[in-house]
Copies of this chain bind each other. A is one copy, B any other.
Amino acid sequence: MFDVDLSSAVAEIKRLKARIVALQVPEGLKKRAYQIAEDIENNAGAEVLLVAEPCFGACDVPSSLFELVDAVVHVGHSPIPSIRFSKPVIFVPARSRVPVNDQLRKAVGLLTEPVGVLATSQHLQELDDVIEGLESMGMKVKMGEGDSRISHVGEILGCNYTAATAVGDEVGSYLLIGSGTFHGLGVHLATGKKVVVLDPHIDEPREIEQAKDKILRQRHAAIEKAEKARSFGIIIGEKVGQRRMRRARELRKLLRWKKKDASLILMDKFDPEKLKALGFDAYVSTACPRIAIDDVAMYDTPLLTPHELEIVLGVRRWENYTFDQMTDDEF
């Protein structure tokens, strides 16, 4: 279901003369990890240490292991250019092999021109085919360049929609190749434009606005609950590309100005039990923006995004609600 071409990684390991490499693969490729490790050992002559921890993105390279290895091979996500690593990290794409042609024909009727075309990391490979398809059906197409966290034109991350907002004023709607509702809704909230999702694993294209009401109701409930909180834990993600120290300190200052107790907390994998153990009345996460939204049902204690905390504290308006995005000046 995914193509993984190791040849350039093998060449790079040889060029670096790396003797020990850590290998990170996404969950969908874990069962093939042994084979990938063997291929690297046999072809590059390096010892491979297979990373068992789940990996959620290019922000999630195991920097704690840099002292054990000469390089990291990271399969399945495109690089985030603004993250600097102290050891070489070799990014290997894992490209989905599912064609989206049938869906594309169905999607056209839902779209307003010009169409902003977007993809998540796993589906960048399909961008060219989709653009060609749209153009062959006579549709005007736009692609946006993202900021310093984005390595590919038209690419969006769960923490970054700048490739969408860059062309926000020029498009009538967006076509996003990806799965789930999170990314599409993020684009819709950031731009106000219609978003149609082409999910290669589903037969029909979907208009994302259907998911909006439910998620906004959940966010409103979390914000309301947090308005009664006296003490706040401000969570900084431990993952190397999620450490928004500046943003966290800003929020702490704001909370103290509003006479609330506030601590800075470091957390790697999020877990309701860890929040419960610390016992704060509410939490705000400066780590991956998806956690608070996707896992809302798991948390009894309110877990907010930074924007949502600003709404709680009266310095931002609910009417302007958008998903949280990461920018370099917050780190």
Contact = CB atoms under 8 A, between A and B. Distances in A.
Interface in A220-248: 231, 233, 235-236, 238, 243, 245
Interface in A1-58: 22, 27, 30-31, 33-34, 37, 47-54
A215 interface: no
A118 B201 CA distance: 60
B48 A277 contact: no
A278 interface: yes
A274 B293 CA distance: 24
B277 A50 contact: no
A266 B34 contact: no
Interface residues of A, number: 42
Interface string A45-73: 00111111110000000111101100000
Q: Per DSSP, are chain A's interface residues mostly helix, strand or loop, or mixed?
A: mixed
Interface of A: 22, 27, 30-31, 33-34, 37, 47-54, 62-65, 67-68, 231, 233, 235-236, 238, 243, 245, 261, 263-269, 274-275, 277-280
14 contacts: A27-B277, A31-B277, A31-B278, A34-B280, A48-B263, A49-B264, A50-B266, A50-B278, A52-B267, A54-B277, A62-B266, A63-B64, A64-B64, A269-B269
